[in-house]
Amino acid sequence: MSTGRRVLTSLALVLASGAALADSVVFLDGFESYSSGSILNWTPPVSSPWTLSNGTIDLIHTGNYALSASAGLDLLNGQSFFLDMDGSTHQAGLLDLHNILTPGQQYQLDFIVSGNQRGNIGYTTSDTVDVALLQGSTAISLVNTTLAHNAPWQIQNATFTYQSGDIIRFRDLGSTDNVGYLLDNVRISAVPEPISMVMLGFLGAGMLGVRKLKGKKQ
């Protein structure tokens, strides 16, 4: 292989590896595998990376309680189960995700949410989706948005850099009427590092070498 072709092959490999990293999903939970039916005041199993405190959430199977999963947005991990983030004890719980990420790495968090779907039958007409990165006693807001009860399923996302011990906390801010926003398909992907300056320098030197070789041949 000529030097020029080697340099181009190296560039192609670098670009290809970047494209692969952009799609590197490190966590995905569509809540499909926990139960065969709805569970009010659901407790995540100890074997899961989730913990729940200070209140409750419900695991809902589509069709129960007049609730439905997303149409078209839930393709990644099934369309049956999702969470109602204000359970059935008049206190919305704190749902925490921890110990699944690498310190120092940048990540993108995606998830889908809908309004509570029942504001038209006497419950709150909106709920606030609040997601934060807890670093010790500091809370960094990742998503804070208020959804009308009839807001359709939609994607929310945020990027963050994970530090050791950080917790990602989902909650329905201020909701105490047993009817909260609906959550599904929590996905975390590693954000690829940009091509380093060292690599660019290597490529530049390689291209310079090609030019010199061509110059000698002429």
Choose between 8 and 173: whose C-beta lies nearer to Ca ion: 173
101 touches Ca ion (CB under 5 A): no
CB of 168 to Ca ion, least distance (A): 18
One DSSP character per residue, 130-198 reads EEEEEETTEEEEEEEEEEETTPPPEEEEEEEE--TT-EEEEEEET--SS---EEEEEEEEEPPPPPPHH
Indicate whether 124 belongs to the interface with Ca ion (CB under 5 A): yes
Residue 81 CB, nearest approach to Ca ion (Å) = 5
Handedness of CA 84, 89, 90, 96 (dihedral sign): negative
CA distance 50 to 44: 6
Closest to 138 in 3D by CA, of 160, 157, 155:
160
Q: Is 189 in the site for Ca ion (CB under 5 A)?
A: no
Q: Is 182 a binder of Ca ion (CB under 5 A)?
A: no
Residues 6 or more apart whose CB falls under 8 angstroms from that of 80 comprise 32, 61, 62, 69
Shorter beta-carbon distance to Ca ion: residue 128 or 162: 128
Token pair for 115: 């309004």
Residues 86/178, Cβ–Cβ less than 8 Å: yes
Q: Which residues pair with 186 in a beta bridge?
A: 29
Q: Which two tokens stand for residue 154?
A: 């939609």
Residue numbers 22-81 binding Ca ion by CB under 5 A: 30-31, 81
CB-nearer residue toward Ca ion: 3 or 176: 176
Q: Which is nearer to Ca ion, 106 or 146 (CB)?
A: 146
Q: Is residue 175 involved in binding Ca ion (CB under 5 A)?
A: yes
Q: How far is the CB of 29 from Ca ion (least distance, A)?
A: 8
Of 29, 84, 166, 184, the one binding Ca ion (CB under 5 A) is 184
| From 179, 186, 188, 190, residue interacting with Ca ion (rule: CB under 5 A) | 179
* Nearer to Ca ion (CB atom), residue 82 or residue 170: 82
- Point out which span in 174-182, 189-197, 198-206, 209-217 binds Ca ion (CB under 5 A): 174-182
* Strand ranges in 23-137 using DSSP code E only, listed in sequence order: 25-29, 50-53, 58-61, 81-84, 94-98, 106-114, 126-135
Provide, rounded to whole angstroms, the least separation between the CB of residue 64 and Ca ion: 13
Residue ranges that bind Ca ion, judged by CB under 5 A? 30-31, 81-82, 86, 124, 127, 175, 177, 179-180, 184
